[in-house]
Amino acid sequence: MGALACSLSSTEAVIVVDGTTTEYRDNQNGYDAYYFLYDINKSSADFEATAFLTTDASGNAIDITAYNDGKTTANSDNPDASIHTSLTLAQAGKLTYDDGGGEDDYVAFYLSANQQGNSTSNFYGLDGLEIYTSDSATVDSIGEARSGVLAYQFDSTRDDTGGGTGQLELFYGNGNSNWDIVLYVPLDSFTLINNDYQQTYVHFIVDTYTDTAGSDSWIYDSNNDSLVPEPSSALLIALGGLVSLFKRRR
């Protein structure tokens, strides 16, 4: 496990995830279940990358705030999001990981970044990241996206991260391969809508980062285990009755 690395400047502490410090664990809720991981190999043979939020400022070095509103056209406060599709918890899927303290289920969000820089400054410098769940596939504004139930939040003004306040620098390697960084969020951090993964929509907000080059995508692995609705007790009883009736008729 990598340790927390802080690159200090005169004004802030910068939390870094890169090829040397490959992991940053976020103790947001008093435990370090949320974490960012840099994959040196960057890709996997069975990985199926599907973008749900892609931004592109065409190298204009502008600050971007973007979110997946689930619509085909961008909102006025979402002008640089070229892909911003709806995403359900069922689509995002889950994976099981054992960090030495037992197995836990996670939802993984992958970043494929493409910024300018050299070997020491390639990073996606993020000031804020928010993930919400909602019963709505589409939202009309970033405020509406934030009206959902919060599942995860990183904020550069926080002072509970172990490294002081500052930007989160997510490193990327040479070129733009399948993915560079993955964020693992515990499955139980997400609030289910009607106890149904397919009705639980995920609204993902990046706020903000400076785009200096090509497109940057947040993606999910469509090969991850699918999350399916859990049948209610009433449905199980009904199914049991039908099975019994079928047996009697036979």
Give the model confidence (pLDDT) of 211-248 as tens digits.
877 789 999 998 877 676 544 433 333 334 433 433 44
Say which range, 23-27, 48-52, 195-199, 236-240, has the weakest mean pLDDT. Answer: 236-240
Measured CA to CA, the distance from residue 182 to residue 54 in angstroms comes to 15
Selected residue with higher pLDDT from 142 and 62: 142
Give the per-residue pLDDT at 144.
96
**What is the reported pLDDT for 7?**
31
Average pLDDT, the chain: 78
Read off the pLDDT band of 60 (50, 70, 90). Answer: low
Pairwise CA distance, residues 149 & 212, whole Å: 32
- The secondary structure element, H or E, covering residue 64 is strand 62-67
- Domain count of the fold of the chain: 1
Reference 125, options 249, 8, 16, 4; nearest CA is 16
Query: What average pLDDT does this structure show over 57-73?
Result: 84
Report which of 222, 212, 173 is spatially closest to residue 51, judged by C-alpha positions: 222
For residue 185, give the nearest of 113, 125, 132 by alpha carbon.
Answer: 132
- Answer for the pair 196, 100: CB distance below 8 angstroms, yes or no: no
* pLDDT for position 21: 86
pLDDT score recorded for residue 247: 40
pLDDT at 209: 87
Mean pLDDT of 74-79: 86
How many whole angstroms separate alpha carbon 232 and alpha carbon 236?
Answer: 6
CA distance 134 to 25: 26
Domain span at residue 34 reads 5-249
Nearest in space to 33 (alpha carbons), one of 167, 232, 190, 223: 190
Q: What's the pLDDT tens digit per position in 13-32?
A: 578 888 888 888 887 765 56
Using alpha carbons, select from 211, 247, 171 the residue that is nearest to residue 81. 211
138-187 confidence digits (pLDDT tens) = 999 999 999 999 999 998 887 654 555 678 888 876 555 578 899 999 99
Cα separation, 87 vs 97, in Å, equals: 22
Report percent pLDDT > 90 for the chain: 36
Q: Regarding predicted confidence, which is higher, 100 or 240?
A: 100
* Torsion, CA 86, CA 210, CA 11, CA 173, rounded to 10: 90
**What does the chain come to in residues?**
250
